[in-house]
Amino acid sequence: MTVKNRTKEEKNIKKIVLLGSTFAIILISFTLGFVLIDLQIKEFKTHLDTFQKTLIQREKITIKTAIENLIYDILYERKAQEKRIKQSIKKQTKIAQKIANAIYLKDKNISRKAIINNIKKAIQNISINKENIDYFIFDKDGTYLLNTRYKKYEGENFIDFVDINNKKFIQKIINKSKDSDSFIDFLWYMPGSSKIKKKITYSKYIFGLDIIIGSSRYIENNNLVAKYLKDKLEKRKLSNDEFVFIYKINSLSNIKKYSIPLLAKNIKTSEQTVDFMEKSLIKSQYTGNIFFEEKNKLLYSTFLENQRLFISFGIDLK
C-alpha cells in the first residue's frame, strides 16, 4: 500500500469517526431532550391534575357553602317567624284577658256561669277576623269552656290529654298560666288534615273566675318556607356557570311521579334531573347531603325532610 493510499484511508477513517461521534452526540442530545421533555410533560400533567383537583375542591366548598347559607337563612327565618307568632298570640291573649277582666268587673253581681258566657261571646266576636289564631278558655280542672275552632270540644275535660310525644299539654297550659312567660308548645293535627305540626299557646289566669284564657297558632307553614326560599333564590345573582333548582317531593316512594319543580335558575330541568334527585337521595340515605359529579357538572344537594324540599346548587365545570 502506497503512502498516498494510506493517507487517503486514514482520512476516511477520521471522517467516519467524526461522523459517528457527531451522530452519537446528536443521539444522546435527542435522547436527553426527549427525557427532559417527557419529564416536563409529566410534571405539567401532574401540576394540571393538582390544579384541577384544587379547583374542584374550591368549587365544592363554594357550592356547599351556598347550600349551608340557605339552610342557615331558613333556620333564621323560622326563628323569626316563631318570634312573630309568639308576639301575635301574646298580644291577642292580653286583649282577651283585658276583655275578660272588664266583663268580670262589670258583671260581678251576676252568676259565674253568666259572666263566663258573656266573656265567651266577646271572645267569639274578636276571633271572627283572626283565621290563623284559635282562642280558648279552660276551667281550672281542664274542662274546655271555649274553643273557637272546635266547638264540639266545649264541655269536655282534657286535663289528661296528650300529644303524640305523650306531653300533657293541657295540664302545662293550666299550670303555667299564672307565670309571666306562659308559652307552651305541642304537636297537633292541622285543621282538616292528617298532618301533625307544632302549635304554640299563650295563656293567662283570670283570678276571681278561676279560668284560663288564651290563644294559639301553628308555627310551621311549609308553604311559607318554600315561598321564602323561592323568593330569596330568584333575587340571588348567579354567574353564567352556576345554577340552582328546587323540587317539592310529595312522596319518597315515587319521586318521579310526585315531584314538582318550584325553581330552576340557569338550568333546564327534565326527567334526568328527577333521576339525579332519586340517585342522590338513595345514595345519601335520604338526607340529600351529597356531592354529585355528572356530565361536567358538579352539584351539592340537601333534602329538607319536614318541608319535603330538595335543593341543589351546582356549577358547570366546562
Q: CATH number of the domain at 163, please.
A: 3.30.450.20
pTM: 0.69
Given 220, 255, 282, the domain boundary residue is 220
Task: Quote the pLDDT of residue 50.
Answer: 66
In this structure, what C-alpha cell is assigned to residue 313? 346548587
Question: Between the ranges 3-12, 21-30, 32-41, where is the mean pLDDT highest?
Answer: 21-30
What is the per-residue burial (b if ≥16 Cβ within 10 Å, else e) of 138-163? bbeebbbbbbbeeeeeeeeebeebeb
Question: What is the four-CA torsion angle of 19, 23, 25, 31, rounded to 10 degrees?
Answer: 180
In a domain, 55, yes or no: no
Task: Quote the pLDDT of residue 47.
Answer: 58
pLDDT in tens, 192-239: 777 788 899 999 999 989 999 999 999 866 677 788 888 888 888 888
Examine the domain organization and report whether 267 and 187 are in the same domain.
Answer: no
Examine the domain organization and report whether 121 and 207 are in the same domain.
Answer: yes
Examine the domain organization and report whether 215 and 227 are in the same domain.
Answer: no
The DSSP letter of residue 289 is: -
CATH classification of the domain holding 258: 3.30.450
Phi then psi dihedrals of residue 226, to 5 deg: -60, -40
Residue, of 60 and 7, whose pLDDT is higher: 60
Task: Quote the pLDDT of residue 294.
Answer: 77
Phi then psi dihedrals of residue 211, to 5 deg: -125, 160
Contact 296, 268 (CB under 8 A): no
Examine the domain organization and report whether 142 and 234 are in the same domain.
Answer: no
Element (H, E) at 187: strand 183-189
The domain tally of the chain equals: 2
15 Cα distance to chain centroid? 84
Given 220, 239, 272, the domain boundary residue is 220
Examine the domain organization and report whether 200 and 122 are in the same domain.
Answer: yes
Examine the domain organization and report whether 167 and 115 are in the same domain.
Answer: yes
Contact 63, 313 (CB under 8 A): yes
Examine the domain organization and report whether 198 and 154 are in the same domain.
Answer: yes
Q: What is the mean pLDDT of residues 49-70?
A: 80
Residue 108 has pLDDT above 90, yes or no: no
Q: How many residues does the structure list for the chain?
A: 318
pLDDT in tens, 272-290: 888 888 988 988 888 888 8
Taking 3-state DSSP, the helix, strand and coil percentages for the chain, each rounded to the nearest 5, stand at 50, 25, 25
In a domain, 11, yes or no: no
Examine the domain organization and report whether 127 and 207 are in the same domain.
Answer: yes
In a domain, 28, yes or no: no
Burial class for 88, CB neighbours closer than 10 Å (0-12, 13-18, 19+):
middle
Q: How confident is the model at residue 18 (pLDDT cuts 50, 70, 90)?
A: low
Enclosing domain of residue 188: 81-220
Beta bridge partners, 184, equal 201
Amino acid at 159: I
In this structure, what C-alpha cell is assigned to residue 260? 314538582
Examine the domain organization and report whether 154 and 240 are in the same domain.
Answer: no
Residue, of 155 and 50, whose pLDDT is higher: 155
Task: Quote the pLDDT of residue 10.
Answer: 62
Q: What percent of the chain has pLDDT over 70?
A: 83
Task: Quote the pLDDT of residue 167.
Answer: 92
Residue 125 has pLDDT above 70, yes or no: yes
Examine the domain organization and report whether 189 and 88 are in the same domain.
Answer: yes
Of 88, 90, 86, the closest CA to residue 98 belongs to 90
Task: Quote the pLDDT of residue 36.
Answer: 63
Element (H, E) at 215: strand 211-218
In a domain, 274, yes or no: yes
In a domain, 254, yes or no: yes
Contact 163, 176 (CB under 8 A): no
The DSSP letter of residue 58 is: H
Examine the domain organization and report whether 142 and 158 are in the same domain.
Answer: yes
Q: How confident is the model at residue 7 (pLDDT cuts 50, 70, 90)?
A: low
- How far apart are the two ends of the chain, measured CA to CA in Å? 77
Of 291, 252, 289, 292, the closest CA to residue 272 belongs to 292
In a domain, 282, yes or no: yes
Question: Between the ranges 23-32, 37-46, 196-205, where is the mean pLDDT highest?
Answer: 196-205
Residue 196 sits at the vertex; the CA angle it makes with 86 and 204, to the nearest 5 degrees, is: 35
DSSP 3-state of 109:
coil
Q: How confident is the model at residue 77 (pLDDT cuts 50, 70, 90)?
A: confident
Given 159, 186, 220, the domain boundary residue is 220
Examine the domain organization and report whether 216 and 85 are in the same domain.
Answer: yes
Task: Quote the pLDDT of residue 188.
Answer: 86
What's the whole-number average pLDDT of the chain? 85
In a domain, 176, yes or no: yes
In a domain, 3, yes or no: no
